């Protein structure tokens, strides 16, 4: 299969690879996929008190398109509010990376990863608000 230049660029120079402290109050972690299916993405976002994503890190087990999709997503979410990030659609990833139809599931997984990370941080904050009340 021939990859687009953008997929190759993200694959060879992945942005924001790494790990944030999952136990921290201002970090949301989303892990989606399954090893048996051949891809697992872990996306982490660090959110400031105003609900703006100030940092994002990922690690992905999967094909080149899955790695590129998650790398791209870390760039897309940075500086966005949680609501803005939640509005990112997988087709934006497909278009940006010129993914072929057989790789669209990689972009869906990346969208799911954002949603999971946002859900995690929201749950944490609600829990914190409850215990403070």
Per CB under 8 A, residues contacting other proteins are: 3, 11, 14, 17, 19, 31-42, 59-64, 66-67, 102, 105, 108-109, 112
Q: Is 63 known to be catalytic? A: no
Q: How many helices (H) and strands (E) does the chain have?
A: 5, 3
Q: Choose between 63 and 85: whose C-beta lies nearer to other proteins.
A: 63
The rounded distance, in Å, linking the Cα atoms of 29 and 35 is 18
The β-bridge partners of 30 are 43
Alpha carbons 107 and 95: distance in angstroms, whole number: 10
Q: Is 37 an annotated catalytic residue?
A: yes
Q: Among residues 52 and 86, whose Cβ is nearest to other proteins? A: 86
| Between 40 and 53, CB nearer to other proteins | 40
Q: How far is the CB of 1 from other proteins (least distance, A)?
A: 8
C-alpha to C-alpha distance for 6 and 80, rounded to whole angstroms: 22
- What sign results for the dihedral spanned by CA atoms 39, 19, 54, 8? negative
Active site residues: 37, 106
């Amino acid at each position: 299969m021939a990859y687009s230049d953008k997929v190759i660029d993200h694959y060879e120079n992945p942005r924001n690879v790494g790990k944030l402290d999952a136990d921290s109050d201002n970090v949301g972690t989303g892990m989606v996929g399954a090893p048996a299916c051949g891809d697992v993405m872990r996306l982490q976002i660090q959110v400031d008190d105003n609900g703006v994503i100030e940092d994002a890190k990922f690690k992905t087990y999967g094909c080149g398109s899955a790695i590129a999709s998650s790398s791209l997503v870390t760039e897309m979410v940075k500086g966005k509010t949680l609501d803005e990030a939640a509005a990112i659609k997988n087709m934006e990833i497909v278009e940006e990376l010129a993914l072929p139809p057989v790789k669209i599931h990689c972009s869906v997984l990346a969208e799911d990863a954002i949603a999971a990370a946002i859900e995690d941080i929201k749950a944490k904050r609600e829990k914190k608000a409850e215990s403070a009340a």
